[in-house]
Structure 1
Amino acid sequence: MSNLIYLTVKGQNQGLISAGCGRRDSIGIKAQNGHEDKIFVYSLQHLMTRKQNVSHHPVIITKPIDKASPLLAKSLDDNERLECFLESYRTSENGGLELYYTIRLGQAYIVSLKSDHPHSLTSNHMMPQEILSIVYANITWNNVACSTSTYSILDERVF
């Protein structure tokens, strides 16, 4: 079973870009009660590699077309600095949802934004979505459930 992931985005110029994204007028029947000011995330991918230095690759987020879509395009166009906060929820033992993992991206920028409107005949079951690539100057991972966390600040380290 997949987890629920939400994204909060604050822009240096636009303020709370994710405001109202979880409401019915933004994403229709996928509206997220209790998460009205967060972006509903379909998938999240992140890759780090190491040869000599650690290499942080962009965070890839797939999300529905929503209220934030034009604002995210403006953010890309203006090279606006962002603060991004991702929250992952899983099903708890009692059947409810529990926050178990968070990722914070500091001094982040959108480096690509791809709109994907599926073919109306061959992919009628799919909805329009966007794929964002976000780079950052620092990242913090926090496993809320296990009380473990770490961070990384991008620099020119060689170990």
Structure 2
Amino acid sequence: ENTIECLSYEESASSGDKKAQGSVRQGPITIRKRADRSTPLLEKALFNNERADGIFRFYRPDPAGDGSTQQFLTIELTNARISSIRRVSPYTIDPETALEPVCEEVTFTVNNVRWTYEANGTSFSSNAAP
């Protein structure tokens, strides 16, 4: 419900060259996901230039080793926009890739990002326009 399972997440920020030292620029954020019920809604947001706020939750095996998972990182986007969607279909002739799902790479241009390490609540918010 109101969630999208991401297969991968990519983000960067850069302080640029020596002339721009101290001036950090937030790069785009790209996720890879399976084509699913959110596909038309994401396309609508792209074509209508809608605001796309969201929360990404990252999980890992619980350090206790009990087989459960632990949410360890949260990244929250506010005032973001979808800047591109790229659909990738597997090569269906090759039996090794024929059963792979159709995936989408969704790229967000972001203004506000908040990173929170859940174990101790350490967080930082940026307002680095792309």
Task: Give the letter aligned to residue 79 of structure 2.
Answer: Q
How far is 1:155 from its partner?
5.1
Which residue is 1:96 aligned to?
Answer: 68
Unpaired stretches in structure 1, ≥5 consecutive residues: 1-35
Which residue is 2:54 aligned to?
Answer: 84
How far is 1:125 from its partner?
3.8
User: 1 or 2 for the larger relative contact order (CA 8 Å, sep ≥6)?
Assistant: 2
2:81 maps to 1:116: no
Unpaired stretches in structure 2, ≥5 consecutive residues: none
Could you state the TM-score of these two structures normalised by the residue count of structure 1?
A: 0.72
Task: Give the letter aligned to residue 54 of structure 1.
Answer: V
Identity, % of aligned positions = 27
How far is 1:119 from its partner?
1.2
User: Which of 114, 117, 123 is matched with 1:143 structurally?
Assistant: 117
Query: Which of structures 1 and 2 has the bigger CA Rg?
Result: 2
Residues 106-156 of structure 1: CA distance to partner in whole angstroms, max 9, x if unpaired?
A: 101000000111110132142100000001110000000132110100259
Q: What does 1:1-150 align with in structure 2 at a 5 Å threshold? A: 36-51=1-16, 52=20, 53-92=23-62, 93=64, 94-122=66-94, 123-150=97-124
Residue correspondences, number? 121
Distance in 2, matches of 1:89 and 1:56, equals 23
How far is 1:96 from its partner?
0.7
How far is 1:84 from its partner?
0.9
Distance in 1, matches of 2:47 and 2:85, equals 10
**Runs of 4+ displaced beyond 3 Å:** none
Task: Give the letter aligned to residue 130 of structure 1.
Answer: E
Task: Give the letter aligned to residue 67 of structure 1.
Answer: R
Do 2:112 and 2:129's aligned partners in 1 also have CA atoms closer than 8 Å? no
